[in-house]
Amino acid sequence: MCGIVGYIGPRDVTHFLLEGLHRLEYRGYDSAGVAVSSLGGIEIRKREGRVSRLAALLEEQPVSGLAGIGHTRWATHGVPSDTNSHPHTGGNGEVVLVHNGVIENYDSLRTQLQGLGYVFRTETDTEAIAHLVAHHLGEQIKLGSDINKDTCLKAVTLTLGRLKGTYGLAVLFRELPDLIIAARNGSPLVVGVGKGEYFVASDASPLVGFTDQVVYLDDHELAVITADNMDLQHRETGERAPSVQTLDQVSTDTDLGDFEHYMLKEIYEQPHTIENALRGRLDDDEATAKFGGLNLSAQELRRIDRIVLTACGTSWHAGLVGEYMLEEFARVPVEVEYASELRYRNPPMSDRTMVFAITQSGETADTLAAMRECKRKGLPTLAICNTVGSTIAREADGGVYLHAGPEIGVASTKAFTSQVTVLALLSLFFGRMRNLSYQAGKRFIYNLKSMPEVITKTLEVHEKVKHVAEKYAHANNFLYLGRLYNFPVALEGALKLKEISYIHAEGYPAAEMKHGPIALVDENTPSVFIVPKSGIYSKVISNLEEVKARKGPVIAIACEGDEKIAKLADDVIFVPDVEEYLQPLVTAVPLQLLSYHIALHRGCNVDRPRNLAKSVTVE
């Protein structure tokens, strides 16, 4: 949550800050602001609402300087407003900072600082940090110290020692206009390295096109940055040499191209992203999958007798599909845990249990905490992750990258299908290691290789889905129903609709409908049945007829050529017929498009839905 940018160097500061904030707006769009440091002091511009409103303010009231920081907010403490927008000032304006995270002890800090005479003007937890830095800086001045890089670093370090919670920080000092101090604990920060310039950002996307050399900060690290130098400090172990990595993104990865919205662009990228997830990982000779990053020997892998998949939101739904695949093909018990629950539970797990953390961003706070807890207990802990250089990717014992490219739309689409593809590869890998036959492995590979082409064909339903969306966009409640592999897809379809159209929707196993949810069925509540050909097709048809008997409108996602469903459902969206375990890759696509077009008809912002942000880096 929240996006941070910073810059120091010869470029136009506000140009980079605004460009960076536009690229980070998916992390929060309640308000935005910048602070620019010059020889005359620090000037602040901030405005409630989207970054475009801040850009308009800067046209009216331009600023220029040697260094600057910026912020786009997802509110945690205090309502969205001009006043609560970042940056925030400390003391009498000698310190200005931006913050991503949550300070759990801000209330007690606020009380202490008010007792010392500091005046609070906002409802945010961040203002307590700013005043605390100013306080520690002032205490050093009282003892006769000059304001220099060392005293500023000490003021920040002393402040961090008193904070409980998470933070990504970028700090400016009025008396040192050529200095930025950045710090992280639990909230991501990356420093871009240029020639005579440095950049700071919450993730790498703002740096694309400006520099391809980056340093990812670890927890408890601080970067002391001037235009010609960066010193990296660890709060406990002291100075360390920065590990500079090369960024492989290109600017076109985050361009809209010919699409109206990022969500639609990312839906249409799925044939390509599934192909990327498969590339180089299929071994035809051995009829298995191969991975370069699991970092476990064959002997260690064969010891595993239980797998735990932990994730949040859409990634959790992908994990449910993975559970079905791994249990069917690898014959190993699998549990799917909400990361927000697992981090606080103490379930019995032996050293023969393997944990996979599934995450698009690699920064999800709950997933990171759950992974760290499992690592602390000595379990082999791996990641299925999209973002290279992210915290989870770096801290996991090993893992698999999705290679889906940046996902900008807040509602995840291509990451879901890429995660399911990787979980299918893992099912093949573990299955062949255990009891899956060579011929079954060859068949599995053949089916996986066909999926990019199948998804391309599936996207031909777009116009049909658009028509269905127009018909049902007025509804205020939806039910999504599927069985076995398509139950997680029902959950995912309902989540997509909730996220971007603000319609109440629930996903259920179709047979569970009669154990309560059927009470919701009426002529105004559409039910979306995911009913492709399967071993229990007739059972799902029976569930569908129960809804029809109660005058509930039915939208069916069915296989091409299914004449029976065409007679029963009010509207049918036909998709290609594939093996049952790969159906989620196909059936998810029309549900993504359905939520997209319903949201458009209701006038919703599909890429920036209210109250949501892309990367949930706070608890």
Which residues are designated catalytic?
2, 614
Whole-angstrom Cα distance, residue 76 to residue 187? 14
Please name the residues in contact with 506: beta carbons below 8 A apart, sequence gap of 6 or more.
478, 479, 480, 494, 517, 520
The answer to whether the bond into 87 is cis (omega within 30° of 0) is yes
CA dist., res. 101 & res. 495, Å (int): 25
Longest dimension (CA), the chain: 86
Tokens for 255?
A: 């361009």
> For the CA atoms of the chain, what is the radius of gyration?
26
- How far is it, in rounded angstroms, from Cα 221 to Cα 239? 9
Query: Who contacts 33 (Cβ-Cβ below 8 Å, separation ≥6)?
Result: 44, 45, 46, 47, 54, 70, 71, 85, 86, 87, 98
Cα–Cα distance measured from residue 337 to residue 487, given in angstroms and rounded to the nearest whole number: 16
Label residue 143 exposed, middle or buried (CB < 10 Å: 0-12, 13-18, 19+).
exposed
DSSP tag of 119: P
SS3 content of the chain, % helix, strand, coil (to 5): 40, 25, 35
Q: Where are the beta strands (DSSP E) in 95-161?
A: 95-100
CA 334 vs. chain centroid, Å, equals 24
